[in-house]
A = this chain, B = another copy of it.
């Protein structure tokens, strides 16, 4: 098939990005070099520069691809009806990254923000903006639909949730204990859950 041939012919850039992505999620964008990718892929540094002329270009491509993959994942979750379940699926996206001993690429890049090429800084903020908008919409839908509860602006609540997930990831990875993340995620989601909140309300009124 032509598609397969083309895919095979253009496989090298994708494989480069695969390796670079894992290294960036593990050591940070400034923590790996062209030499690291080259040795792992079995080609020379010069060949890497043919595909990605500069590291800044590679980094931007990394972010764009990651953002697209994230879009696909979010779209898949869109099919879910229940907003509460949607959020649990969303949180599990983070967890899947963590159990592979990686940080969220964008959380990692956020830490390195001030050292990144401007083009990467722009793309990183774009990623967070999209992410935040998706979560905010999900929260708003859930509140309107009567499955979620939170106060104030949905965007603020979305920021609190993503901040909690990113931070929990950061800390859990330092301990090599993904369960630390899971516990925090569960707690964050529980607070948004109307069903659980109602239980808590009842308990209070009984007291």
Show the binding face of A for B, using Cβ within 8 Å: 26-28, 30-31, 103, 107-108, 110-115, 121, 124-125, 128, 151-152, 156-157, 159-160, 162-168, 170-171, 173-175, 180, 183-184, 187-188, 190-191, 197-198, 200-201, 204-205
Contact = CB atoms under 8 A, between A and B. Distances in A.
Contact of A159 (B124, B184, B201): B184
Interface of A is mostly: helix
Contacts of A157: 187
Q: What 4 A-B pairs have minimum CB-CB distances, sorted nearest first?
A: A167-B167, A111-B111, A163-B167, A163-B168
B174 A168 contact: no
State how many copies of this chain the complex holds. Answer: 2
A168 B107 CA distance: 11
19 contacts: A28-B111, A28-B115, A30-B30, A31-B115, A110-B171, A159-B168, A159-B180, A160-B183, A162-B171, A163-B167, A163-B171, A164-B188, A165-B167, A166-B170, A166-B171, A167-B168, A167-B170, A191-B191, A197-B204
